[in-house]
């Protein structure tokens, strides 16, 4: 009776394991079963929609501490490899089978002085199944067969193939380089494309929101190459051909989208394994995001281009079929049928000089680490394409940011001027604001929509704060200061702004200072910093910072209760719409106390 009960228990556990995994172990060959000399096939698309096979022969196994750097070393050959000029970018994820069982994904090309035939590294299937297991809450592990381990052989992971001198000088080293998923970009060109990949190389603008608000997380404009992504030498884009989830089979192409619409940014690779609606691919990381939320797309492969440094697949991103949920060292994993969260970006640009207007609609992934790069590159491209020039100018821009987690939309207006490159200011400002919101201390803003509309002219629309004059040489607490500010328009006439500011009757100081300046100002030494209690406070602070066509006349006094110095007491703001105000003027006068004067 006990034996019968035990047998039933075993059957139940076995059934649960199959349900939990969504697959059975008999579909795979694990590291413990791999032996040198085994032969098999790999599958990938070289051209069109036909999956081609290539030959694989096992050399051995790289066994390093842990298992994240364990790889199966294989020789590859056949027409698909010869036509591609070796292991090409975009082949990452190509499934490799021995005796009909999946052993893993071709993920790296390699070079070894002891092998003349092209060799590659296969990411073991155990590592990739963990991506699926994380959704099933199960796990599988395996250790290499000791007879298959390449004893004394060291693995050196690098970005590019080694030189012949390196190969010959280190005979016990296998140099591996990821068969990176080529980044396909359309809608960007020139410096916007360079900025996307390598960051902005010129001097960064100053005087933006981030310079005046407390933040520990500044936007990173290092470009997507800092995430290990490599640009496909030939630009691509989205295909209009309709493809279905049925096309996502082992060996077929798979895409990951970062942007779609008037600008398309995405990467392509190869499907390794599919478990019902779950797929794993690439055999290596994308941007090491861990948990992810990127659109999973089909791709169209046109051909594989031979190249001296690294051959690559030429293709385009297809329609969205699901969502990439995992981005790990061993590959990416996603679910077909799920929809990724995206942020809509709308950019409208009017060239006031030519009356040319262009509008751009782009969907961006909601990933704060790369959001600044995407906003900067797409915004820069929108302005460059509309103006068809690079250089000086004045721009007036209105931003609106909407989010499900925001108490109300953020709305801000700015005016910028540059004698060198006006195009960089609006997208840099926008990226900084979005970054500030996404990394706030309180609530996820859950941004859904970002818009930026701007009007640009090549004219230098500026006013110099030329002179500040007060109506008296001294004041008493409670008195009104009448001030006059003279403004000199750049290569034009003059303008006068007059106003009043009251000296508080509670103020106690020897002197008072009246200062006239444009735009926001930095805190005086010792002034209390801004303190936020909620996301609403953050939004309010961003909206309240004055633009550079706002003239501020502010009253300062020495704070005797603080050892640090000047404190702002009161201010009056006047809009000088459309003109960038620069320079500062201030006047210091005595503060007298009438009850002690006589």
DSSP string covering 15-82, please? Answer: HHHHHHHSS-GGGB--GGG--TT-EEEEEEEEEBTEEEEEEEEEEEEE--SSSTT-EEEEEEESHHHH
Helix/strand/coil percent split, the chain, to 5? 20, 45, 35
Given a cut of 90, whether residue 317 has pLDDT beyond it is: no
Express each pLDDT in 120-173 by its tens digit. Answer: 889 999 889 988 887 655 555 567 777 778 887 878 776 667 777 777 788 888
Helices 425-438 and 371-387, axial angle in degrees (round to 10): 160
CA dihedral 203, 209, 213, 218 (to 10 degrees): -50
Q: Where are the beta strands (DSSP E) in 307-407?
A: 312-328, 331-336, 342-351, 356-365, 393-403
Q: Give the count of alpha carbons within 13 A of 213, CB side only.
A: 25
Handedness of CA 77, 90, 113, 125 (dihedral sign): negative
**Contacts for 236 with CB less than 8 Å, ≥ 6 apart:** 184, 185, 186, 264, 314, 315, 316, 317
**CA dist 86 to 111, 155, 363, Å?**
11, 20, 35
Both tokens assigned to 148 = 């298959």
Confidence of residue 303 (pLDDT cuts 50, 70, 90): low
Helices 190-198 and 371-387, axial angle in degrees (round to 10): 170
Express each pLDDT in 545-589 by its tens digit. Answer: 999 999 999 999 987 666 567 788 899 999 999 999 999 999 999
Note the pLDDT of residue 45: 87
Report the distance separating Cα 524 and Cα 300, nearest Å.
58
DSSP letter string, 179-190: ---PEEEES--H
Confidence of residue 21 (pLDDT cuts 50, 70, 90): very low
Given a cut of 50, whether residue 11 has pLDDT beyond it is: no
Give the phi and the psi of residue 472 in degrees, each rounded to 5: -140, 165
Express each pLDDT in 504-527 by its tens digit. Answer: 999 888 899 999 999 999 988 777
Given a cut of 60, whether residue 67 has pLDDT beyond it is: yes
Domains in the chain: ranges and CATH: 28-178 (2.40.10.10), 462-596 (no CATH)
């Amino acid at each position: 009776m006990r034996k019968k009960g035990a047998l039933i228990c075993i059957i139940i556990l076995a059934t649960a394991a199959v349900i939990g995994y969504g697959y059975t172990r008999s579909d795979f060959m694990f590291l413990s079963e791999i032996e040198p000399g085994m032969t098999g096939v790999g599958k990938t698309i070289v051209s069109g929609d036909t999956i081609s096979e290539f030959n694989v022969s096992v050399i051995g196994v790289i066994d390093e501490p842990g298992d994240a750097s364990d790889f199966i070393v294989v020789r590859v050959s056949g027409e698909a490899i010869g036509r591609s000029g070796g292991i090409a970018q975009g082949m990452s994820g190509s499934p490799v089978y021995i005796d009909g069982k999946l052993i893993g994904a071709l993920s790296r090309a390699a070079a070894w002085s002891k092998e003349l035939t092209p060799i590659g590294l296969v990411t073991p299937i155990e590592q990739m199944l963990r991506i699926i297991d994380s959704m099933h809450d199960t796990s599988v592990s395996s250790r290499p067969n000791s007879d298959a381990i390449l004893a004394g052989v060291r693995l050196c992971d690098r970005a590019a193939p080694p030189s012949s001198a390196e190969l010959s000088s280190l005979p016990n080293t296998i140099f591996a380089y990821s068969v990176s998923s080529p980044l396909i970009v359309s809608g960007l060109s020139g410096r916007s494309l360079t900025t996307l990949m390598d960051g902005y190389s010129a001097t960064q603008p100053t005087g933006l929101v981030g310079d005046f608000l407390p933040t520990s997380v500044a936007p990173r404009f290092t470009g997507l190459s800092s995430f290990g992504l490599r640009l496909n030498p030939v630009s691509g884009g989205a295909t209009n051909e309709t493809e279905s989830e049925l096309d996502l089979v082992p060996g077929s192409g798979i895409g990951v989208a970062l942007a779609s619409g008037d600008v398309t940014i995405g990467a392509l690779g190869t499907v390794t394994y599919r478990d019902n609606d779950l797929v794993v691919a690439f055999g290596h990381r994308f941007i090491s995001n861990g948990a992810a939320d990127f659109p999973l797309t089909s791709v169209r492969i046109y051909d594989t281009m031979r190249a001296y440094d690294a051959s690559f697949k030429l293709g385009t991103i297809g329609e969205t079929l699901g969502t990439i949920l995992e981005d790990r060292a061993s590959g990416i994993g996603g679910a077909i049928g799920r929809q990724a969260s995206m942020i809509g970006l709308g950019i409208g640009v009017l060239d006031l000089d030519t009356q040319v207007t262009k509008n751009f609609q782009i969907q961006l992934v909601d990933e704060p680490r790369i959001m600044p790069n995407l906003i900067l590159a797409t915004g820069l491209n929108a302005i460059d394409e509309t103006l068809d020039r690079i250089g000086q100018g004045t721009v007036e821009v209105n931003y609106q940011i909407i989010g499900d987690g925001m108490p109300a939309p953020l709305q801000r207006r700015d005016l910028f001027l540059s004698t060198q490159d006006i195009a960089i200011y609006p997208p840099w400002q926008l990226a900084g604001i979005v970054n500030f919101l996404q990394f706030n201390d309180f609530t996820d803003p859950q941004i859904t929509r970002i818009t930026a509309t701007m009007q640009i002219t090549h004219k230098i629309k500026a006013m110099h704060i030329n002179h500040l004059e007060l109506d008296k040489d001294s004041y008493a607490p409670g008195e009104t200061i009448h001030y006059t500010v003279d403004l000199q328009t750049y290569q034009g006439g003059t303008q006068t702004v007059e106003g009043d500011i009251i000296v508080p009757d509670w103020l106690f100081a020897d002197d008072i200072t009246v200062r006239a300046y444009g735009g926001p100002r930095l805190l005086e030494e010792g002034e209390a910093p801004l303190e936020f209690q909620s996301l609403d406070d953050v939004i309010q602070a961003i909206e309240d910072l004055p633009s550079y066509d706002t003239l501020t006349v502010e009253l300062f006094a020495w704070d005797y209760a603080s050892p640090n110095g000047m404190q702002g007491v009161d201010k009056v703001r006047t809009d000088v719409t459309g003109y960038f105000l620069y320079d500062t003027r201030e006047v210091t006068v005595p503060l007298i106390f009438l009850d002690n004067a006589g």
